[in-house]
Structure 1
């Protein structure tokens, strides 16, 4: 073998090695590009889901705000206090909706016996309590707190009627 043949063989081997190395780099680049594409798709899907959740939350907030506004514009409260007999009175739910966590209180706590409270009260139903006016109390205001069916807490103050 002549020197020219040896040089030609070495050049051919170097060219083959360079070609193999370029093929391996190209395959690696394709793999990285595919992984990058998958990450981009996943990020786009996550962004889309986040935007959907955000839109749903905004819609829910707007709906709750509208319900709250509608409730505030009602002229009559959902409650009426009625005299029953003796020292017994009733808190009546005038709405057709069940109200949860209904509780009653007065400034003069000794005047009120409300062992059944807090309690849920169904629509068009009532719960009884005992009011015994003490000599020290001139205020007949009864404060009612409750939670609407949509989860919104609310309160109302009414006057206990004369017996």
Structure 2
């Protein structure tokens, strides 16, 4: 290899590392976990924001295995036991503990939840649906993440103020 080829390879490596760190800084890094309540009447969702900037959750949706998304209008904060309307702010490098009360855990045997940010990116979590259906939802979530919310899941309007 000639000297110019080595320089080109080095420049390519530097540009890839710069692109990686630029994308890493811009990307939303959200991790979700879902736990059942002690008596099976509620679900607890943990929304962990690993990004270096705050994110706003525009809504959380309930996804039955063979149904459409039902957007939930309120979520209960598990730390202070108070109900909030969306959007909900999740600070950088922190976790929001949400609680779903009422009929959502009992509407179907197999279900999942999706968390949609105000930019449209949607993340999914489930403990009850089959692996094949969960992989499909995770691929839709990845598509939503890569396309900045334009593709994958429908955009909700829960956080938009109603016309009076």
TM-score bracket, normalised by the shorter chain, equals: 0.3 to 0.5
TM-score (norm 1): 0.39
Greater per-residue strand proportion: 2
Structure with greater Cα Rg: 1
Higher relative contact order structure (alpha carbons within 8 Å, sequence separation ≥ 6): 2
TM-score (norm 2): 0.39
